[in-house]
Amino acid sequence: MSFRWSRAAAVARKEVYHVLRDPFTLMLSLGLPVFLVFVFGFAIEFNVEDLRLAVVDADRTRSSRQLIDTFGSSGYFIVEPAPSPDGAFRALTGDRARAALLIPGDFEKDLYAGRGAHAQILLDGTDNSTVGPILGYVGAIESIAAERIGDFDPPERVDVQARFLFNSELNSRWFVIPGLGVVVMAILSVLLTALAVAREWENGSMELLLSTPVEPLEIIAGKIAPYAVLGVAAMAFIFVISLTVFAVPFRGSLLVYGAGTLLFLAAYLAQGMLISVLTRNQLVAMQVAIMSGLIPANLLSGFIFPIESMPLFFQYLTMIMPARWLTDIARESHLKGASLLDMWEAFAALAVLAAVTVALAVTRFKRNVEP
C-alpha cells in the first residue's frame, strides 16, 4: 500500500470545505468545549465551605464558647444554635444543617479535672462527598481549640507540620480545570469523526470517495487532519481560559504539553473513525461514541476518582484510555512543571494507543473496501 501526501491532502481539503459549510460541526468542535469548561469550571468545587453547623451548648462556660468560636472562625462552618440534641437532629434531617456539635454539661469540669473534655459531632452520612472534608476540618479545629481552651498545662505532644507542595492553597480548581479540558475533548473528539464520517456513509458520498484510487490510510489521515486542527484550537482556547479566567498556573513546557495533546487527539479521532467505519450510522455512532468516550473519560481517567484507589482490574483498564494519560500530563505540566523525562510513561502509552487505534481504523476501513 502506497501513501501519497497529495491524496491525503486532497481528502483533508474536501473535509475542510465540508466543515466550513457546516456551522454545527464548528460550534461542536470550538464553541462547546469552551462553554463546558466555563460552566463546569465554576460549578465543580471540591472545597467544602460555609457548612451550617447546629450547636447545642449544654455547658455554657468559657471553654465551651471558645470551642464554638473556633468552629465559627474557621471559615468552614456557619454556627447556628440549636435548643437541644433533638433540635440539632431535626436540623440535620430537615437539611437545615450539615453537621451538629453537641457539647455536654460537664465539658469544662472534665477539662480542668484532667479527664479530657469530650464533645460530639454528628454528620449527615447521606452526603458522602462532604463527610471526608468535614472530618479533616474537625481534626484541624480540634488541635487549634486545644491550644486556645483552658488555663491548664497541655501535655507535651509531637508537632507535625504539613506543607502542601505545588498547590499550597489546595485550590480545587487548579486540580479540576486541567482534567476537565481533557475529559471534554475526549468526548468531542470521538463524536466529531464518528458523526462526520457516519454521515458520509448515510449520504452515500463515502462510496464515491472509495471508488477513487485513494488508499484507506490516506482517507484516514485526510479525514483526521482537519479535526485535529480544530481539536488543537479548542485545547488552546481551554488552555487560555484556564490561565486567565481560573488562574491555573502553568509551570511546564508548552512544546511537551502540545505533543501530548496531539497524540491524545490522534487516538480519540481515530477511535471515532473506527466507530464510524463499524457502524455507518449516525445515531448508532453517537451512542457508541458516548459509551466509549463520555463514561470512561469521566469515571476512569482519574479526573474525579483517584486511579490508585480503584480495584486492580480497573487500574489496568485505565491504561488503555488516552484520557488517563493526558490528565496526568496536564496536571503535572500545569502544577509541577514536569519535564518530558518525568512523564515518559504517559507519552509512551499515548504513542502506543494512538498507533494501535489508527492501525485498527485503517485495517477495518480496508476490509470494508475490499470485503
Tell me how far apart the alpha carbons of residues 8 and 222 are, in angstroms, rounded to a whole number: 5
Cell match 488552555: residue? 239
In the predicted structure, residue 40 carries a pLDDT above the cut 90: no
Domains defined along the chain, listed by start:
5-44+172-368 (no CATH), 51-149 (3.40.1710.10)
* Amino acid 50: pLDDT: 77
pTM to 2 decimals?
0.75
Q: What is the pLDDT of residue 156?
A: 43
pLDDT of residue 112: 77
| Confidence at 354, pLDDT banded by 50, 70, 90 | very high
* Sequence-separated (6 or more) residues with CB below 8 Å from residue 365: 216, 219, 220, 273, 277
DSSP 291: I
Helices (H), the chain: 5-20, 23-26, 32-43, 62-72, 85-93, 107-112, 128-148, 172-203, 205-210, 216-244, 254-279, 282-289, 295-299, 312-317, 322-331, 344-369
Query: What pLDDT score does 171 carry?
Result: 78
Give residue-wise pLDDT tens across range 296-344.
Answer: 887 888 887 778 778 888 889 899 999 999 999 998 899 888 889 889 9
Q: Is there a contact between 354 and 267 (Cβ–Cβ < 8 Å)?
A: yes
Give CA torsion, residues 206, 211, 216, 219, to 10 deg: -50
pLDDT of 151 > 60? The answer is: no
Q: Are 193 and 273 in contact (CB under 8 A)?
A: yes
Q: Could you give the angle at the alpha carbon of 260 between the alpha carbons of 34 and 243, nearest 5°?
A: 40
